[in-house]
Amino acid sequence: MTARMIHVNEVPVSASIVAFDKDGTLFQAEPFWKALNKERKKRFVSLTGLHHGEEWDRIMGVNETGVDPAGLLAVASETEEKTVIAALLYRHTQKPWIESLALAEKLLTDSNDSLNIEEAFTPVRGAAGLLNDLKHAGYIIGIATSDNRKRTLACLNLLGFHDADFIVTPEDVKHGKPSPDMLEKICRDFTVPHDEVLMIGDSTVDCMMAKAAGCKSIGVNENDDIRQELDEISDFTLNSVNDICVSWES
């Protein structure tokens, strides 16, 4: 009799469900963050003035070297981002708070609609293959992301993967990462023990979420400093999803 098994650095990992973060795990994060920030920033400065562009970047965690992977742009949900953007608009335009909120929501919506998915998202090498291997082995697999559902579906289409069993975004829960809400929802929806869920992500908030929910986690990141942070809170730490494999054992 043969049994499926996930291996991480040749170590077997028991799980029934595998949840993936999207940006930085299945897709390269930096190109997406920069493209999205460009769309949002040009709309912000059109409302407040070009001289506020540097302040925008500082708040979003964008600088000349790149994007802070622990910053607002990289980690926050759109609901959280909307509140911050509305506060900036309220400060610089002196419009009423309700109007500032509406402007922030329009800024986000218009930026999302203008973003070119094919240009902004570059799949991580081996990501599609791992998803298909897990699916063919009978695992329940899906996405737990801070991004919105519409863009997540478009990204999966770009990846050529159409068999996700679930997609959980901040739209589906009360609290986003690092709260355990997303993974707890997955456990409820599929009626599985928490320790049978494996979370794979590139950020500390992914592994913090898994730990808070009582789930297993794999931190994947090519950055040595971030990987060291992940090592303190994850069950396994790897350079990329390429180091994860699925096999059949007697």
In this prediction, residue 45 carries a pLDDT of 98
We report the CATH number of the domain holding residue 146 as 3.40.50.1000
Residue where one domain finishes, among candidates 76, 97, 119: 119
Same domain, 104 and 207: no
Residue where one domain finishes, among candidates 67, 87, 119: 119
Same domain, 81 and 154: no
Same domain, 225 and 133: yes
Same domain, 46 and 7: no
Same domain, 157 and 242: yes
**What is the domain range of residue 114?**
30-119
Same domain, 21 and 39: no
Same domain, 198 and 225: yes
**Using an 8 Å Cβ cutoff, are 124 and 25 in contact?**
yes
Same domain, 68 and 168: no
Predicted TM-score (pTM) of this structure: 0.88
In this prediction, residue 2 carries a pLDDT of 63
Residue where one domain finishes, among candidates 119, 144, 172: 119
Same domain, 24 and 34: no
**pLDDT tens-digit series, residues 29-85:** 999 999 999 999 999 999 999 999 999 999 999 998 899 988 999 988 899 999 999
Same domain, 81 and 112: yes
Query: Residues in the chain with pLDDT < 70?
Result: 1-2, 249-250
Same domain, 155 and 179: yes
Count of domains forming the chain: 2
